[in-house]
Amino acid sequence: MEKPLLRCYEGGVGASLKYPEHSLYHFLVHSAKQFPDHPALTFYGKEIQYRELDDLSNRFANALRQFGIQKG
C-alpha cells in the first residue's frame, strides 16, 4: 500500500515506530508513581493529575468487577 505522506518525511525519519509491549494500565501506574502531581489530562480547562487518574481508573475497575464484569 502506498503511503504518500512518507515522501514528506525528512531523511532519517522512519516510516513506523516500534512500541513497547505494555498495557495502558502499565503506563498509567508507572506515570502515577513517577509523576503523581503532573497533569495527565487537560480538558476544557480542567486538569487531572496522574495520581488522581490512577485512583479514578482503579475505582472504575472495581465498580465493573462488582457488576460481574471480568477480564477479557
pTM of the model: 0.70
User: What pLDDT sits at residue 60?
Assistant: 96
Q: What's the CA gap between 48 and 59, in Å, rounded?
A: 15
- Give the separation between CA 30 and CA 21, rounded to whole angstroms: 14
Task: Decide: 49 and 38 in contact? Cβ < 8 Å.
Answer: yes
Low-confidence residues in the chain, pLDDT < 70: 1
- Cβ atoms 35, 50 nearer than 8 A: yes
pLDDT, residue 18, reads 86
